[in-house]
Chains A and B, each alone.
Chain A
Amino acid sequence: MAKKMHIKLTVNGQEEEFLAEPRELLIHTLRERLNITGPHIGCETSHCGACTVTVNGKSVKSCTMFVAQADGADVTTIEGLGSPDNLHVLQRAFKENHGLQCGFCTPGMITRASKLLEENPNPTEEEVRFGMAGNLCRCTGYQNIVKSILAAAAELNSAKEAAE
């Protein structure tokens, strides 16, 4: 067994420090070690996106990143996006637009969408479909996911306009 490494992470604003084998995958750090079970495991080959989190401002599939690679990083998961009293606009939009069914892809889907809307606050439907193509859903056929994200974008934009 390889020597354990000293890892420091910030997850959803909380600092974490522990020893881990270099081969430990970030998704297992989150789920097994830190009990952050929002991100899910669907394929372990970075195809499905159920494990999507944000690492240092970028969407990352945490099933194919070693925690050693994330040493010192700032990680945000679905749990860090909103709270029961203050939901993220995407969390509300997915419910309003029936953008989920079994819910297994949803945490990764919303986490990815939150980055997409930061990268492109006013996307076309085509841009949403392209930008979300790394996240698979087996239930919804994507139509209402796309609708949810466009609705969230519209809400964010009108809030921004009102503020200006």
Chain B
Amino acid sequence: MNKEITRQERADALGGMGCKRKRVEDARFTQGKGNYVDDIKLPGMLFGDFVRSPYAHARIKSINTDRAMALDGVVAVLTADDLRPLGLHWMPTLAGDKQMVLADGKVLFQGQEVAYVVAKDRYIAADAVELVDVEYEELPVVVDPFEALKSDTVLREDLVAEDGSLPDGAHGPRKHHNHIFTWEVGEKDATEQVVSDAAVVAEETMYYHRTHPCPLETCGCVASMDKVNGKLTLYGTFQAPHAIRTVVSLISGIEEHNIRVVSPDIGGGFGNKVGAYPGYVCSVVASIVTGVPVKWIEDRMENLMTTAFARDYWMKGKIAATPEGKITGLWCHVTADHGGFDACADPTKFPAGFMNICTGSYDIPTAYLAVDGVYTNKAPGGVSYRCSFRVTEAVYFIERMIEVLAIELNMDAAELRRINFIKKDQFPYQSALGWEYDSGDYHTAWDKALKAVDYEGLRAEQAQRVEDFKAGKTRKLMGIGLTHFTEIVGAGPVKNCDILGLGMFDSCEIRIHPTGSAIARLGTISQGQGHATTFAQILATEIGLPADNITIEEGDTDTAPYGLGTYGSRSTPVAGAATAMAGRKIRAKAQMIAAYLLEVHDDDVEFDVDRFVVKGAPEKFKTMKEIAFAAYNQAIPGIEPGLEAVSYYDPPNMTYPFGAYICVMDIDVDTGVTDIRRFYALDDCGTRINPMIIEGQVHGGLTEALAVALGQEIAYDDMGNVKTGTLMDFFLPTAWEVPNYETDHTVTPSPHHPIGAKGVGESPHVGGVPCFSNAVNDAFRAFGLRHTHMPHDHWRIWKTANELGLHG
């Protein structure tokens, strides 16, 4: 008994996996001592700023920079003509397309970069932007993807051959000059047969509107070319610093060893900071041209209008079922609006990301998905806003289709889900659209969630409310939003996941210092997730040294091992696995050292929390601290000095976090105002590393889901003008609009991940969006509503109520 307590105390002292360790990042952030890119100040540094197009589609007749150059303090004005000799007026996108760095003869979206001004301070740069004279000739604007596929207006002349034919795109044949690709998964004929033979079919078309990740810190960089040493240092808001280094090398011709990319502290990313933007390229060129460092920081309007939108999917679905509600087939077609350039951030082989996870948590035997990508006069992007690649779209689609099917069947939507869940004993489960779900226990999670909120009681209350409403006793309706989501994260296995040919493994390198502390470096980069805290916890448990004695470092390509960065909830599934594996290499060497010190055979010692003990004689041991010192001061036969390890982890499969969410919402029929009475979120992210941080991630993800579902959008008018370019129009919820969330969990470890963890950062967003949306739709179900599009702002909800005749 006594011995057990001691062991537990030793484990507690490590601050390892499972504990609510306070964050090591917080000391600097709470004291205003973070180091974000705009805090970087280098001697002689200049400022860059963009001249941007006011038009969504126009030819550029001329650009005159004379007046700008004449302004005191202006150092240079770059246009496409200046970049052309370097071959940098266009750059490759992550989706196999190319994108103008500076307008080359025409512009394709409002806010497109036309010229880049370099000046001594940001005020002069802003003045000079106003002095660049650009003559435009307006062209017809196409903002609707369906119109685009019919329109004679050619957006991308560069993608049409001289004889008028259409060369294949990066993802195969193109059907029209504004068409980018068709991507098909599953069995078309079989699925259409199932749908046409089915007793019950529910059909719906849903628009998942364009929105934006909008991190509180905008994108930016500081480029510094040291001409003496030939070294380029690029600081920036990069979610994937190593990939940025490779891209910069490939497009600039600077040898990769002469480029150092540094991601300093990042003020939130949410996918916005994955891509490579013209601002980075122009800043690098400007630094090369001027020989001094150049800083470029977006303002908020530039951020919302030009860098990396998300979503913009028109999804048409058909779901087939037996009269009892057993789903027999799922058919889905997506018209995907990619804007003027295809700059979606997806693994190369997945032009619509992992949209083919759209069979969700359900055992659907037959399915088919087709996605058509389309060019329009909107900003490029298509990033995963707090989700793995297009997974939010997929989960929204299936979770809305289930609700529509429940209406068609006149069935309870919770029960419909339950009878279609993939069962626990079916895992690993092969989905009809090609994924192998690693693990899950959906029924347990679902039952726990329904019980926690007293689901039966809620439905009874809702029925009473409908009666009261009809009797004129209340003007408020009640919606119950349900969602059971399955995510697919942790991209990914190198065999099918790469970005620009770079395999999506990740890495960790550990050095143990002689006195028993350590530094570990990873290929990822935290943007608020608390990596410095949680990765040290993984290591503490794996190598038996206190988390407080382990420094975690990321983001400097000169020191960190190569990795593909942080997005798509891949840090814990991939870099977290690399961390555990590197830790195990440390432990393997430590075992040999311990055996030597204890004068026994390697096999006669075993790891015990923070030490190696002689098997059967636990009083004979060497602590990891002692072993670390021995690694540096003892000549051990057959063992090299030092204690270091590196692991590059290629995951064998994705991980599949899941969860059950329930939202209870009151809606004022006369104002359209929503009041979230309750939100219950059960997450299963496998092994839990730090419950405090998990809970924080869930709160944040749900709030970003609330934003998207209830009002946040990037809207355009018919002329291609962005109507939501400031935080006045683009909805970011305040503390006033956001409820308190109830969090809960089950634990189904990933069978293939070294510590069983699955990732959690994006689950609440992926599951939250349909849950809020389902609550709104559900409130009106009793009055005949099948589906209404997001975002459910007060005006649209009022309109829905009005169209249903609820205003008398």
Contact B527 A102 (CB under 8 A): yes
Q: Which residues of A contact B218 (CB under 8 A)?
A: 42
Interface residues of A in 118-154 (CB under 8 A from B): 128-130, 132-146
Nearest CB in chain B: distance from A63 CB, A? 10
Q: Measured between alpha carbons, how far is A139 from B528 in the docked complex, in Å? A: 7
Assess whether A103 is in contact with B267, with CB atoms less than 8 Å apart. yes
A17 / chain B contacts, CB cutoff of 8 Å: none
Contact between A101 and B217 (Cβ–Cβ < 8 Å)?
no
Partner of B735, one of A39, A78, A100, A128: A128
Question: What residue in chain A is nearest B690 (Cβ atoms)?
Answer: A98
Q: Pick the residue among B30, B34, B39, B268 that contacts A91 (CB under 8 A).
A: B30
How many angstroms from the CA of A70 to the CA of B265 in the assembled complex? 30
Q: Which residues of B contact A44 (CB under 8 A)?
A: 299-300
In the complex with contacts A102-B528, A107-B32, A143-B741, A136-B265 CB distance below 8 A:
no
Asked whether any CB of chain A lies closer than 8 Å to the CB of B529, the reply is yes
B270 located at the interface, meaning its Cβ lies under 8 Å from any Cβ of chain A in the complex: yes
Q: Is A75 an interface residue (CB 8 A)?
A: no
Q: Is the CB of B528 within 8 A of A98?
A: no
Please name all residues of chain A whose beta carbon is closer than 8 Å to the beta carbon of B122 when the two chains form the complex: 28
State A24–B215 Cα separation when bound (angstroms): 26
Contacts of A132 in B (CB 8 A): 734-735
Residue A5 is within 8 A (CB to CB) of chain B in the complex = no
- Please determine whether A140 and B217 come into contact, CB atoms closer than 8 angstroms: no
Interface centre among A23, A38, A102, A135 (most CB of B within 10 A): A102
Query: Could you say which of B307-315, B328-336, B667-675, B697-705 contacts chain A?
Result: B697-705
Nearest chain B CB to A50's CB is how many angstroms away?
Answer: 6
- Other-chain contact of A102, B266, B300, B693 (Cβ < 8 Å): B266
Which positions 98-151 of chain B face chain A at CB distance < 8 Å?
A: 121-123
- Among the interface residues B215, B216, B736, which one has the most CB atoms of the partner chain A within 10 A? B216
Which residue on A lies nearest to B692, using beta carbons? Answer: A98
Q: Which of the residues B28, B36, B527, B736 comes within 8 Å of A129, measured between beta carbons?
A: B736
Give 1 or 0 for each of A65-85: 1 = CB within 8 Å of chain B CB: 000000000000111001010
Determine the residue in chain B with the shortest Cβ distance to A106. Answer: B29
Q: Which residue of A lies closest to B530 (CB)?
A: A101
Q: How far is the CB of B418 from chain A (nearest CB, A)?
A: 29
B402 contacts A by Cβ under 8 Å: no
Please, which residue of chain A has its CB at the minimum distance from the CB of B124?
A: A1
Tell me whether B41 is interfacial, beta carbon within 8 Å.
Answer: yes
* B82 CB, nearest partner CB in chain A, Å: 27
Asked if B270 and A138 sit within 8 Å, CB to CB, the answer is yes
Interface residues on A, range: 35 or more
Query: Which of chain B's residues has its CB closest to A25's CB?
Result: B123
B18-26, B255-263, B361-369, B611-619 - the one binding chain A: B18-26
B39 touches A37 (CB 8 A): yes
* Min CB gap A36→B, angstroms: 8
Nearest A residue (CB) for B703 = A141
Contact A101/B529 with A39-B32, A140-B700 known, Cβ cut-off 8 Å: yes
CB of A136 within 8 A of CB of B703, answer no
- Asked whether A102 lies within 8 Å of B699 as measured between CB atoms, the reply is no
Q: Which of B23, B31, B270, B735 contacts A145 (CB 8 A)?
A: B735
A contact residues around B121 at 8 Å (CB) = 32
Asked if A35 is at the interface (CB within 8 A of a chain B CB), the reply is: yes
In the complex, what residue of chain A is closest to B71 when comparing beta carbons? A1
What are the residues of chain A within 8 A of B738 when measuring CB–CB? Answer: 129, 141-143
Q: When the two chains form their complex, are residues A79 and B32 in contact, meaning their CB atoms are under 8 A apart?
A: yes
Give B375 Cβ to nearest chain A Cβ, in Å.
30
Fill in one digit per residue for A5-28: 1 if any B CB lies within 8 Å of its CB, else 0.
000000000000000010110001
Most A CB contacts (10 A, CB to CB) among B25, B297, B530, B736 go to B736
Q: Bound complex: CA of A134 vs CA of B727, how far in Å? A: 12
Cα–Cα distance between A134 and B27 once the two chains are bound (Å): 24
Q: Are A77 and B32 within 8 A (Cβ)?
A: yes
Shortest distance between the CB of B726 and any CB in chain A (Å): 6
**Complex alpha-carbon distance, A36 and B26, angstroms:** 18
Contact A42 B300 (CB under 8 A): yes
Given A40-B267, A42-B300, CB of A104 within 8 Å of CB of B23 = no
- B214 interface residue per 8 A CB criterion: yes
- Chain A residues with Cβ below 8 Å from B28 are 103
Produce 1/0 per residue, B146-174, CB < 8 A to A: 00000000000000000000000000000
Mark A22-60 against chain B: 1 for CB-CB distance below 8 A, else 0: 011000100110011111111111011010000000000
Is the CB of B473 closer than 8 A to any CB of chain A? no
Give the Cβ gap from B710 to chain A, nearest Cβ, in Å.
14
Partner of B268, one of A23, A95, A139: A139
Chain B residues with CB under 8 A of A139: 268, 528, 696, 700
**Chain A residues positioned under 8 Å from B699 (CB to CB):** 140-144
Q: In chain B, what residue has the closest Cβ to A93?
A: B30
A75 to B26, CA, bound (A): 24
**Contact between A103 and B25 (Cβ–Cβ < 8 Å)?**
yes
A23 touches B123 (CB 8 A): yes
Residues of chain B with a CB closer than 8 A to A107's CB: 29, 32
Q: How far is the CA of A107 from the CA of B470 in the complex (A)?
A: 50
Provide the bound-state CA to CA distance between A107 and B33, in Å. Answer: 9
Does B732 interact with chain A (Cβ within 8 Å)?
yes
| 6 examples of A-B residue contacts, CB within 8 angstroms | A45-B300, A48-B732, A100-B26, A129-B735, A138-B270, A139-B696
Known: A110-B30, A130-B735. 13 other contacts (CB 8 A): A32-B121, A47-B727, A48-B300, A94-B26, A101-B268, A102-B265, A102-B527, A103-B30, A106-B29, A106-B30, A136-B727, A142-B699, A142-B738
Q: Which B residues contact A (CB, under 8 angstroms)?
A: 22-23, 25-34, 36, 38-39, 41, 72, 121-123, 214-218, 265-268, 270, 297, 299-300, 527-530, 692-693, 695-696, 699-704, 726-728, 732, 734-736, 738, 740-741
Which A residues form the contact surface with B (CB < 8 A)?
A: 1, 21, 23-24, 28, 31-32, 35-45, 47-48, 50, 77-79, 82, 84, 87, 90-91, 94-96, 98, 100-107, 110, 128-130, 132-146
Q: What are the nearest 4 A-B pairs in CB distance? A: A38-B32, A103-B29, A102-B528, A104-B267
